[in-house]
Chain A
Amino acid sequence: MVRAMEKYIRPGVKSTPFCPGCGHGILMGLILRAIDELKMDMKKMVFVSGIGCAAWIPSPHYDGDTLHTLHGRALAFATGVKLYKPELCVMVVSGDGDLSSIGGNHLIHAARRNIDLKVICANNMIYGMTGGQVASTTPKGARTSTTGEGNPYRPFDLCRLVEAAGATFVARYAVTQPVALIKAIKKSLLHAGFSFIEVLSPCPTQFGRRNQSDQPEDMIRDLMRRCILEEEAKGLTEEEMAEKIITGEFRS
């Protein structure tokens, strides 16, 4: 991470804990850039996370208050913080398994309440920390350590899920779209209400090596090729669309 962002890193923290090629480090920096551009006061920010690789993005790295909670429960803890001290900016950064599988019920209810939480869901489509098991976001057919023959079930569309549940700011970008992503995080920080940003982040260690490629640059290139905006999707055939991922701000 560049020197300019160092002031947001907790003194005593040295390197990031992520595997080589993991997208979470990029996201860690992009969130800080959004905070920096808005000149947010870190003393008034609380970062809540659950369990899993993505939960380590803020904890203990960010130099605000961090609350590293139980698996799946980040949103419930964050609800308590926000309701009691509404003047604090409460951001939840966690993974797809944490927020949408074990914590799925809290996700839809927090969205329904439209409580002012800034949720950033780092989606690597797999359980990374525990060894690459299938997640509620794993694409159909993808191989994981618990679906050697390919995932037989379809994944959640997280953005549509939370939007239907009542979220009032919803966006999806990949870590390969940093400019748009920073913009979305800034909008979320300024948004009063439940905001949800799904961030696609490559996991070469667990997802890549079982599927397309364990080379980080291949996974990044793949995301760059597949992530398109809604407008770009219009002229495409069904076949062309099959491998694309629609990104953008779906509700703002």
Chain B
Amino acid sequence: MPSKQVKSMLKKGMYYFSGNEASAEGAIAAGCRFYAGYPITPSSELMERMAVRLRELGGVFIQMEDEIASISAVIGASWAGAKAMTATSGPGFSLMQESIGYAAFTETPCVLIDVQRAGPCTGQATRVGSGDIMQAKWGSHGDYQVIALAPWSVQEMYDLTLRAFNLSEQYRVPTLIMADEAVGHLRENMIVKEKMEVWHRKKAAGVAPFGTEDEDGIPPMPSFGEGERLAVTGSTHDPYGFRKTDDPEVHSRLVTRINKKILNHRSEIIETEDYFLDDSEFVLIAYGFTSRTSLYVVKSLRKEGMKIGLLRVKTLWPFPEEAVEKVGRRARKVIVPEMNLGQMAGEVRKFCRCDVIPLHQTDGEVIRPETILGILRRVA
């Protein structure tokens, strides 16, 4: 198996980190030894920590001329054999979209941390938002899949970054951490365990690197310099990497496979957490920092005897439709609080038959418990 249990990089114990620092440590733990980035608030501390840590470990750090160059260098390094990453925020995330599509189409493992701020455009650079959720799925042109995870704590900035690398290596897919400013700048304790699971991309010599008959749909990925004479291209290509830009069958087969290899593994990829869902008439569905507020509200209302629960979405993409559908079958009303104008609420509506009430907030502030309480008192 290409996954194994290894000793953690940091000594086992408790650490007091910011979310951005924890994410950098999670990357280092996963084996990330290449970072290319461009400064942008509120993600810059992540890059600064990577600059220090990679120097200590003999990895490669480079500050590029812009975000397009950053993600492109990351993809180049990945083909040279690196576990590679970059981090950014809204405007930089927009610039990176074409290369994310390239990574998806060439099946290049790489990790991108988006510490979301209040958009659109330059927006409020130092303020929080969750406006990039749909862009994470649909930002580049054409049909492709990414995996996107949403951490709610400093602990998860570490754990999910580590997991993002594992998923990225396992499925040969760009994997995104959709953090937000509040989680990125939050400081709290987190725990590093003695051991952790680490994945490495599957390798095989003399095998087609862009096509497979295997059921899992994931071909092995050799690196440059290994004598495999790789032909990597963002044009439609056959299993050996030859451009086939006018063959309908090759195009359809490739696009279908890169989508299916993710969607067929939904059950292994998707993680959600249930809180008091068994008897809940009202359910909050939330992700990122907002799920902390949501849990606080749920716990307070439970004390008052209200039958309310929380579905916390840890994997944004692929979307946890089964879990949401299950909630929708039993709940009377579902409330989706998020720091945008209802990006995930729309997705929830697709799979919930019950009443779905979005709670929008785009003022650059985190959603406060009173706000969620207010809407609950109105609808309950």
Residues of A that sit less than 8 Å from B by CB: 10, 12, 42-44, 46, 48, 59-60, 63-70, 73, 76-81, 83-85, 87-88, 105-106, 109
Contacts and interface: CB of A to CB of B under 8 A. Distances in A.
Interface in B261-291: none
Contact of B242 (A12, A63, A77): A12
A150 B73 CA distance: 38
Given A73-B69, A84-B77, A88-B224, A60 B82 contact: no
Contact of A63 (B77, B98, B229): B229
8 contacts: A60-B231, A64-B229, A73-B68, A79-B69, A80-B78, A81-B77, A81-B80, A83-B62
Given A66-B232, A68-B233, A80 B225 contact: no
A77 B76 contact: yes
A237 to B, nearest CB: 42
A167 to B, nearest CB: 15
Interface string B62-87: 10111011101111111111101000
Given A67-B232, A80-B80, A84-B60, 19 more contacts: A10-B229, A46-B225, A60-B243, A67-B76, A68-B232, A69-B102, A69-B234, A70-B102, A76-B72, A77-B72, A79-B64, A79-B69, A80-B82, A81-B80, A83-B34, A85-B81, A85-B225, A87-B225, A88-B224
Contacts of B231: 10, 59-60, 65-66, 68
B139 interface: no
Interface residues of B, number: 42
Main DSSP-derived SS at the B contact region: mixed
Given A10-B231, A67-B79, A80-B80, A85 B62 contact: no
B32 to A, nearest CB: 11
Interface of B: 33-34, 36, 60, 62, 64-66, 68-70, 72-82, 84, 98-99, 102, 223-225, 227-235, 240-243
A80 B232 contact: no
A57 B231 CA distance: 13
Contact of A77 (B65, B75, B240, B241): B75
Most chain B C-beta atoms within 10 Å of own C-beta, residue among A63, A69, A76, A85 = A76
Nearest to A63: B229
A73 B234 CA distance: 12
Given A83-B60, A84-B60, A46 B84 contact: no
A12 B229 CA distance: 13
Contacts of A10: 229, 231
Contact of B76 (A42, A43, A59, A80): A80
Contact of B241 (A48, A60, A105): A60
